[in-house]
Structure 1
Amino acid sequence: MKNQQPHITPSPGTAIITQWLAGKALSPFAFQEETWAHMLRGDSGIVNAPTGCGKTFSVFLGSIIQFIDAHPTNWQQQKNNGLQLLWITPLRALAKDLGRAMQEAISDIGLPWQVGIRNGDTETSERARQKKQMPEVLIITPESLQLLLAMKGHLSFLPISK
């Protein structure tokens, strides 16, 4: 993230996420709120914090906030939205843990998103399902991402900006 203090504007998505966290007796860390503000402004950057400090929720929940803010009246009815977040992780074991945590949060919030995992262990049938209907969140290893990008027609299911 940039070194400037972001202007944190309350939004429908921010309110929903903050309420969800409060229901778990949690509140967002300042760096998470800063990340959300930067994401809502369209900024890009890197989140750097020690293990276990909430980096995943800073970016993952920021993506959910963006989506809710883009669909403030019907976000709970929006299904099959295509890829909204591509999460690259070098460790297969970490992918499963991330996927579980993300799907739990999505379910708790009431967002009808799906989380998919793609790595060398992903079954062919699951890869075919993902190609036909990409989940909103795809957790992928670098090697699998390379193969996915080399596939014919990858732009039809990976919304890569021009």
Structure 2
Amino acid sequence: MHSHSVVREINKINERELDLGATGSWHDDYKDSAYIFIGGLHNELTEGDVIAIFSQYGEVMDVNLPRDKNTGKTRGFGFLMYEDQRSTILAVDNLNGAKVLERTLRVDHVKNYKQPKVKKEDGEWQEREEQSLNAKPEVIIGASRSSSSP
């Protein structure tokens, strides 16, 4: 079996082929969706924090972190959209299994993500007319200083 580092190297090579429209990667199933699913988020993390983590792999256009209605805290998962779908591949390959605030992230492609419907004033549900795009990150997460491991 390949070790993970070998797989990473192969993925680097595959990325070049993606530009040429080559097929054969499991990522191809998701080439029409620039959204990813993020699980394992610490509930102290804000949208800005999540954008800061994920923007190293590309321009983040949208992030949605469902919140607990009572506490207002995030519920540990969310969805994020990149400007360029190829960024999702980098994020999935590099951040799935990464540790943030002692929690292990789960990052995966999402095939058909639609933004949550919004309630109109009269109580009717409607699809959002355009995807709401969130602001640029303000918070950059530093590496936690307590642990000496990389």
TM-score range, shorter chain: under 0.3
TM-score by length of 2: 0.26
RCO comparison, higher one (Cα < 8 Å, 6+): 2
Higher share of residues assigned helix? 1
